[in-house]
Chains A and B, each alone.
Chain A
Amino acid sequence: MSWTPEQLEAFLVRRRRRNVAIAVVLAAMVILFYAITIGRMSA
């Protein structure tokens, strides 16, 4: 399967956006579970 340069560029942009989204979700989950742990320990 061969892509045109425009298709390849669009794919790379989408992959970059997905990677950023996954990083943001993982960071948010770290913060979320940290908050739950702190809250549970203080309760």
Chain B
Amino acid sequence: MQAGPAAADWRDWLALLKPRVMSLAIFSALCGMLAAPGSLHPALAVVAILMIAVGAGAAGAFNQWIEADLDARMRRTASRPLASGRIPADEALAFAMILAVGAVTTLALATNLVAAGVLALGILFYAIVYTIWLKPRTPQNIVIGGAAGAFPPVIGWAAVTGDVTLMPVLLFLIIFLWTPPHFWALALFVAPDYARAGIPMLPVTHGPFATRRQIWRYALALVAASLAPWPLGLAGALYGMVAAGLGAAFLLLAWRVRVSKVTEPRAMAEEKALFRFSILYLFLLFAVLVVDAWVMA
């Protein structure tokens, strides 16, 4: 046993779990759970949310373990606990595996096998399909990455109902279609950073104008998917009207990005506006979904 100088503390282990990603997973899983028909014992609901958060954290830890070499070469990520060497790679891998297996097993015990199975699928999808396979190979990486982030509301829903019906699939689709315009808006005004790191983001490989066309197309598809629950009778008028208003604002901002001719990243005001609004959009859309479900009930 060695008494090395750079010992990790609890903050490093927490950082390994990517807490910001965990917080989005917690919020969307909670919304899926609250919008689902039926009820779950509060103690089991707390355990389920905790396990979804731990599962998302395990996926984040796998991601950092796989990308430690890349992180060490980028200024933004060089201080991460694995990239900087504060946490040894084998300990990080063991930590991620224990958390992943523990989260899936405990979720199965607390709720049902469907929710646990979707959680396991989400972790594997993020770690293998997204991080290892697609991210370093294709500028469409963020499209597939969106699928990885879209699992939590489905898990939350399945934890309550024990099945996956049309509504959780639509929730999945909404996050899936929201991710590209959200991240590409960001990628447009930080494109030089991605180019330096050698990550094939769409603005780097295809330029700003092709990226803006893609943002517009995904924005149209997103708004269509967000409105679908209303005519399908899966959500009420309250949800439909708020989703229509939010969607109109999203389309307006996306159109301004679509017609923008700015090529200097620091001057991309429309892209920054769309990026900021997209976060508020998703938060409000899911929040009103929950309120609407309670009103309908």
Interface residues, chain A, CB within 8 Å of chain B? 3, 7-8, 10-11, 14, 17, 21, 32-33, 35-36, 38-40, 42-43
Contact = CB atoms under 8 A, between A and B. Distances in A.
Contact of A35 (B3, B7, B10, B43): B43
B44 A43 contact: yes
B84 interface: no
Interface of B: 1, 3, 5, 7, 9-10, 40-44, 46-47, 50, 106, 109-110
Given A21-B10, A32-B106, A39 B43 contact: yes
A33 B108 CA distance: 12
Contact of B109 (A21, A36, A42): A36
Contact of B47 (A3, A14, A35): A35
Main secondary structure on chain B at its contact with chain A? helix
Contacts of A36: 43-44, 47, 106, 109-110
Nearest to B50: A32
Contacts of B110: 36, 39-40
B181 to A, nearest CB: 38
Nearest to A4: B3
Contacts, number: 41
Contacts of B50: 32
Contact of B3 (A11, A32, A38): A11
A19 B8 CA distance: 15
13 contacts: A8-B3, A10-B3, A11-B1, A14-B3, A17-B9, A32-B47, A32-B106, A36-B44, A39-B41, A39-B43, A39-B44, A40-B110, A43-B40
Given A7-B3, A10-B5, A36-B110, 18 more contacts: A3-B3, A10-B3, A11-B1, A14-B3, A14-B7, A17-B9, A32-B47, A32-B50, A35-B47, A36-B47, A36-B106, A36-B109, A39-B42, A39-B43, A39-B44, A42-B41, A42-B43, A43-B44
Nearest to A43: B41
Nearest to B4: A10
A38 B10 CA distance: 30
A35 B109 CA distance: 11
A15 B168 CA distance: 46
